Amino acid sequence: MGILVTSVAPLVCFAVALVGVQAYYTRYRFDERIVATCGILAILISACLLAAIISHASLRLRAPQIDGALDGADLALGLYAPAIVLKLSKYPAFAALLGVIYSSAMPVCVITALALAASGRRARACEFAFSFTFCILLAATVSAGFPALGSTVYHGMESTAGLPSQAGTFHMATVEYFRNDPSAIFDLAKVQGIVTFPSFHMVMAILLPYALRGETRIGIWIAVIWSLLVALSSVVIGGHYVIDLLAGAATWAASAWLIRSAGRDPDRAR
């Protein structure tokens, strides 16, 4: 698969420039907050770009889709994604709100990481960035071997009344293009969130309240409510199966365990 250099180059150059600023403020005019903020942003940009390349390029492998297995897992859990979607489609205003919440997940996480770094909470910002990077790259890699179209598409619910436009189906044109077009080119303008299992939106839903632990009570409650809405929007807007959310939570738990394990050894923690 080719890459449209003019699409990717500005983002790569920006990440490199951030590393340059970080190096300058590390060596010549030390400022811990600038160092942390530039470093964290460079890491998040690089992780997102690499995950996008992995997940989209892997569609060229045309691995068999695992929707049947994911749907069966939902049935076994007794938490059926189509039933949740149909129930919430009766409340179009709330479904529209979920559409906004779903789109807010990535910007909110990036802003949170930068706010932690800029406010001097470097350890918390690094913890956030590690979990974000670990989980998004693991999700992209897993999706290479176990792709899925999502519950909405699998059950033919594309035209369900009461849902926002393209709810659960927004990624289909992208999947079709990269999976079946022999001349597909990686272009950031054509990139979508195409990873179904595990759900990275669920990871982001957990990251925010966990990063804000110990903050003001009202801040925590806002984060928790936002987190629950992101999880719900992942099913209604993202077209995820419930098992995707559980796998996303397990992915985050693995990253948290690695951080906690490293924290027991001061050298590894640094």
Bridge partner residues of 185 (DSSP): 2
Question: Could you tell me if 150 and 171 are in contact, meaning their C-beta atoms sit under 8 angstroms apart?
Answer: yes
Count CB-CB contacts under 10 A for residue 68: 11
Exposure string (b/e) for 145-183, b if CB count within 10 Å is 16 or more?
ebbbbbbbbbbebeebebbbeebbbbbbebbebbbeeee
* Verdict on whether the full-model pTM lies above 0.85: yes
- What pLDDT is attached to residue 108? 95
Could you tell me the residue ranges of all domains in the chain? Answer: 2-269
- Residue 269's pLDDT is 55
User: Quick one: which of 31, 50, 54 has its CA closest to 42?
Assistant: 50
Residue 268 has a pLDDT of 59
Distance, in Å, from the CA atom of 249 to the CA atom of 206, rounded to the nearest integer, reads 7
Burial of 254 (0-12, 13-18, 19+ CB in 10 A): middle
pLDDT mean values, one per 10 residues, the chain (270 residues): 91 95 92 92 96 94 94 92 93 95 95 93 92 97 94 90 90 92 90 92 95 84 94 95 96 93 66
pLDDT value for 216:
76
Query: What is the pLDDT at residue 159?
Result: 84
